[in-house]
Amino acid sequence: MTTLAGKVALVTGGSRGLGTAIVGYAKGVQDSKSECRSSVGRKSKKRIVR
């Protein structure tokens, strides 16, 4: 992953860091763009599965 969340995940280490980073990033996006909240949630779930 070349995204900021991916880098944070590598620093924190393990899948826990990855999940936490994605959740935090998703929440931040939701706060800034509440209208696209549903689409952002779906994308974050797909990333966690991968």
Q: Domain map of the chain by residue range?
A: 4-49
pLDDT tens track for 13-45: 666 666 777 777 777 766 665 554 455 555 555
Alpha-carbon distance of 9 to 11, in angstroms, equals 5
The pTM score is 0.29
Cβ neighbours around 3 below 10 Å, total: 12
| pLDDT for 3 | 76
